[in-house]
Chain A
Amino acid sequence: MQQGSFSDEIQRDLTADDIAGLRYAMAGLDEIAGTADDYTLELTYAGLTTSADIVIDFDNSQTGFAVSQSGGSFINADHIRITTNTIYFNTNYNWYFNTVTSSGPAPPNAVCTPYTAQLSSSGTVTITASGVDGGTTDPNGDPFTLSVSPSTFTCADIGENMVTLTATDVDGSSTCTAIVTVVDSGDSLAAVCQDITVSLDNSGNASIIPNDLDGGSTVGDCGFGTTFMTTVSTTSNSLQTLFSGTTQAEGNMFDVKAQQDIIINSFDIKLSNGLTTDIEVYFKEGTWVGSETTAGDWTLVATANSITSSGFNNPTPLNLNMGISVKSGNRVAFYVTRSSGSGGFTYSQGTAVGNTLASDTNITVFEGAGKFYPFSSTFAPRNFNGNIIYNTVDPFNGNFDTSDLGNNTIILNVEDNGGNIETCDAVVTIVESSPCVRPPLLTGTPQPSNTAFTSVNVGAWPGNLNNAFLALESKEKGLVITRMASPETSIGNGADAVQGMLVYDTDDQCLKLYNGTTWNCISQGCPD
């Protein structure tokens, strides 16, 4: 829409198309004024005076319209009028529109979002532009294309990478920068353990590092990763739900979510008085909801035959050793059921499936369902009555002491750059301290000894004694070294003290050795 850029251009009335254009400009793509996609219509005039008389009339209530001089001062609305068909100018003046523009043409507005790219097992990954597109739009609705550069990553790029997303349409292009985090896929991650035996030191301590347990683990497609150790707590935890239920069927389905890494081993259940029955436990990852009648979704993880009720109001232990590992934050489902007979498996009415039934700091148990066997009729919400017996899996710092003598099972965790973790169990056998002794060197030519003090008759001696500056010989008498009060005081730590000095400290009643820095009562050590 152009109504003459300069004073000598032809002036004309606005046409219907011009008005449509103005309306369009006012209302944007959605044809609703006042929304984010509105155009900006700019009418400017060079040379307008305040005495001009232009009237603008709107055909609706959208009055947010202003006209300014090229210098930016708004023209008094009394001096301009726009009707549905015509902009009227004061004929006393040579009016024209300097420029009439909308904000279009407009390139698309590129918007980025972070993206995580997993390397394939071959160690490469190619991303598409849509992966880092965070909602790119075009102001005037033109179709646009997206491209990203760089788009291919390898092991060398593990971590954060900056990429440029370019959005292009007929009006031009714009760019934004996205962070692509390249991670390992975990496809080639494997934990392989080896059992080791470790001796306590003279202080009764020993320490291992993850590598000590590694029997050839492969850590990720790119060889990156970390290893750490965990242990299963030696004492079991038990989370009780409740024991007040009176409703019966043959089993319960319920979800358990872990707040920290745990191993679920067994359950106590509630059985009718005098009942002896066989129990099966099924397991699946994720919730039971949706799988309550689909046996194929479940794995039979334990059976306990001839379980006799401990009494209606007492927990009946199943004494299982399922060893089901649940990572922190994960939800799993159990289906605990009689595998023969009807009724007798007792539980409570619930409030709503998925409500928290019971929790402690490590796990949460949710309201579930009563079940007829097997995977048959479902009654929900129903609440499992019993205890969940589990152990926590705790970080292990690698330190052992005399309380650990014997076999210890340590879990080696290998984690790749993508956060994938594989584990294996290693048996660490802790044995009593083995004193540090070393055999002598026996090959070569010994040094002769030339000097000796003796209190016995001698023959070829001391020449047949090896490696001594001084050989002492006696059958009854020893070498008596100097005895003194604290050598720290008697000799000090200054120039008088010489590395290798050995005295008997009559205060501390010990052999005291100067190591070049300090005097110390000697204790057993090891050269490596």
Chain B
Amino acid sequence: MMEGLKKILIAIPVLFLSTISVAQFAVGKTNVEGAGLLDFGTGKGLILPWVETAASTDADGTLIFDTTDNKVKARINGAWVDLSENSGTLNTAKANKVSQHLLKTENDNNIILGSTTPSANGVLVLESTDKALILPKMASPHLNMVDPEPGTIVYDTDANLMCVFNGEEWTFWGE
């Protein structure tokens, strides 16, 4: 499944007005564990979209990298909550990437996994009442991931923490 998905994305990346309703997806590995809806391998992360307009209408459970203050944020109980402790200060290369991104034109594309109808606004919407995103895993990403991108989210298997990167520093979340 991962291979098929990957081919589509690489070959025709702009034609993403598609609705995929398949049970489980894996990227960077060959099988999905447990009740994973979207599963990843080990050694890399997931880059959240670089959003310049964090919509107040977004659904709870929406994750973004907010380019207005360079923070990873989550929509929780009707409000945007910072997952990054501080605003990130981007170096020139990173700032250029973000500014080039913001020059692009937004399409109305999205991907829905787990359902045929979107219930929320998102570039990737995971729909299930009993399946979950399994974060990509890595040992101590703050020590091992070279030059991460703003908005990177990854699970630290050493510390059992979710790590988010604001372009300058990592913030950590656990129990």
A→B interface (CB under 8 Å): 435-447, 449-459, 461-462, 464-485, 487, 490-491, 495-504, 506, 509-511, 513-516, 518, 520-528
Would A454 and B13 count as touching, CB distance under 8 A? yes
- Asked if A447 meets B44 with Cβ closer than 8 Å, knowing A457-B14, A475-B101, the reply is yes
Q: Which residues of A contact B44 (CB under 8 A)?
A: 447, 449, 467-469
Q: How far is the CA of A451 from the CA of B2 in the complex (A)?
A: 10
Would B146 and A520 count as touching, CB distance under 8 A? no
Would A513 and B110 count as touching, CB distance under 8 A? no
B100 → A minimal CB distance (Å):
8
B→A interface (CB under 8 Å): 5-6, 9-10, 13-14, 16, 27-28, 33-37, 39-41, 43-55, 58-64, 74-77, 85-86, 97, 100-102, 104-111, 114, 120-137, 140, 142-149, 152, 155-163, 165, 168-175
Would B27 and A516 count as touching, CB distance under 8 A? no
Would B48 and A527 count as touching, CB distance under 8 A? no
Given A456, A472, A506, A511, which contacts B105 in the complex, CB threshold below 8 Å? Answer: A456
Dominant secondary structure of chain A at its interface with chain B? loop
Would B63 and A478 count as touching, CB distance under 8 A? yes
Q: How far is the CA of A520 from the CA of B173 in the complex (A)?
A: 10
Given A455, A456, A483, A527, which contacts B60 in the complex, CB threshold below 8 Å? Answer: A483
Q: Which 6 A-B pairs have the closest CB atoms?
A: A504-B61, A520-B175, A496-B35, A525-B174, A480-B122, A527-B159
Considering the complex, give the chain B residue whose CB is closest to the CB of A439.
B169
Q: How far is the CA of A513 from the CA of B173 in the complex (A)?
A: 9
Would B49 and A472 count as touching, CB distance under 8 A? yes
Given B53, B97, B123, B168, which contacts A439 in the complex, CB threshold below 8 Å? Answer: B168
Q: Which residues of B contact A479 (CB under 8 A)?
A: 46, 48-49, 62-64, 122-124, 126
Would B43 and A447 count as touching, CB distance under 8 A? yes
Would A469 and B41 count as touching, CB distance under 8 A? yes
Given B64, B85, B127, which contacts A437 in the complex, CB threshold below 8 Å? Answer: B85
Would B35 and A469 count as touching, CB distance under 8 A? no
Q: Which residues of B contact A464 (CB under 8 A)?
A: 97
Given B36, B39, B120, B140, which contacts A480 in the complex, CB threshold below 8 Å? Answer: B120
Would A468 and B46 count as touching, CB distance under 8 A? yes
Q: How far is the CA of A457 from the CA of B125 in the complex (A)?
A: 19
Would A478 and B175 count as touching, CB distance under 8 A? no
Q: How far is the CA of A451 from the CA of B47 in the complex (A)?
A: 10
A401 → B minimal CB distance (Å):
21
Q: How far is the CA of A212 from the CA of B47 in the complex (A)?
A: 41
A341 → B minimal CB distance (Å):
67
